Amino acid sequence: MSKYSVKPNLSVNFAGIHSPNPFWLASAPPTNTGEQIMRAFDAGWGGAVWKTMGAQVTNTSSRYSSINWGGQRMMGFSNIELISDRPLDVNLRELAEVKKRYPKQALIASLMVESTREAWHTVVQQAEDAGADGLELNFGCPHGMSERGMGSAVGQVPEYAEMITAWVKEKARTPVIVKLTPNITDIREVARAAKRGGADALAAINTINSITGIDLDTLMPQPNVDGRSSHGGYSGPAVKPIALNMVQQVMSDPEAMLPLSGIGGIAAWKDAAEFILLGSGTVQVCTAVMRFGYRIVEDMIDGLENWMCEKGFHSIEDFRGLSLPKVTEWKDLNLNYKVVAHIDEAKCIGCGLCYTACWDGAHQCIHVDRVSGAVNGPIELHAKPTEVEAASRSSITVTPIPKLDGDIARQPYVTPLARIPRVDETECVGCNLCSLVCPVDACITMVEVKTHLPAETWEERSAACLTGESC
E-only strand ranges, 99-200: 106-112, 134-138, 176-179
Residues 347, 312 share a domain:
no
* Alpha carbon distance 316, 276 (integer Å): 8
Residues 430, 318 share a domain:
no
Q: Is the residue at 429 inside a domain? A: yes
pLDDT at 373: 42
Residues 311, 423 share a domain:
no
Kindly report the CA angle at 149 between 90 and 134, in degrees rounded to 5? Answer: 45
- Catalytic (active-site) positions: 141
Q: Is the residue at 452 inside a domain? A: yes
Query: The domain spanning residue 352 has which CATH number?
Result: 3.30.70.20
Q: Is the residue at 345 inside a domain? A: yes
> Among the three residues 292, 326, 360, which one is the final residue of a domain in this structure?
326
Residues 266, 343 share a domain:
no
Residues 255, 300 share a domain:
yes
Residues 354, 270 share a domain:
no
- Residue 378 CB coordination number (10 Å): 13
448 CB-near residues (< 8 Å, 6+ apart): 337, 338, 339
> Among the three residues 326, 344, 365, which one is the final residue of a domain in this structure?
326
φ and ψ of 208, to 5 deg: -105, 135
Q: Is the residue at 351 inside a domain? A: yes
Report how many domains make up the chain.
2
Residues 383, 292 share a domain:
no
Taking CB atoms within 8 Å and a gap of at least 24, the contacts of 38-41 are: 38/98, 38/101, 38/102, 39/294, 40/289, 40/294, 40/297, 41/98, 41/102, 41/105
The radius of gyration of the chain from alpha carbons, rounded to an integer in Å, stands at 27
Helix (H) and strand (E) counts for the chain?
Answer: 14, 20
Q: Is the residue at 2 inside a domain? A: no
pLDDT at 310: 97
> Among the three residues 326, 348, 365, which one is the final residue of a domain in this structure?
326
Residues 334, 318 share a domain:
no
Query: The domain spanning residue 34 has which CATH number?
Result: 3.20.20.70
Residues 362, 228 share a domain:
no
Q: Is the residue at 3 inside a domain? A: no
Q: Is the residue at 178 inside a domain? A: yes
Residues 365, 304 share a domain:
no
Residues 336, 277 share a domain:
no
Beta bridge partners of 366: 423
Q: Is the residue at 295 inside a domain? A: yes
- Residue 329 CB coordination number (10 Å): 9
pLDDT tens over the chain, length 471 residues = 445 568 999 999 999 999 999 999 999 999 999 999 999 999 999 999 999 999 889 999 999 999 999 888 999 999 999 999 999 999 999 999 999 999 999 999 999 999 999 999 999 999 999 999 999 999 988 775 776 777 788 889 999 999 999 999 999 999 999 999 999 999 999 999 999 999 999 999 999 999 999 999 999 999 999 999 999 999 999 999 999 999 999 999 999 999 999 999 999 999 999 999 999 999 999 999 999 999 999 999 999 999 999 999 999 999 999 999 999 999 999 999 999 999 999 999 999 999 999 999 999 999 998 764 443 444 444 556 666 666 665 555 556 665 665 555 456 788 888 889 999 999 999 999 999 999 999 999 999 999 999 999 999 999 888 877 766
**Residue 439 domain boundaries:** 330-387+414-466
φ and ψ of 229, to 5 deg: -140, -175
Residues 302, 340 share a domain:
no
The interaxial angle of helices 34-43 and 296-311, nearest 10 deg, is: 40
pLDDT at 391: 62
Burial string for 248-270 (b: 16+ CB within 10 Å, else e) reads bbbbbbeebbbbbbbbbbbbebe
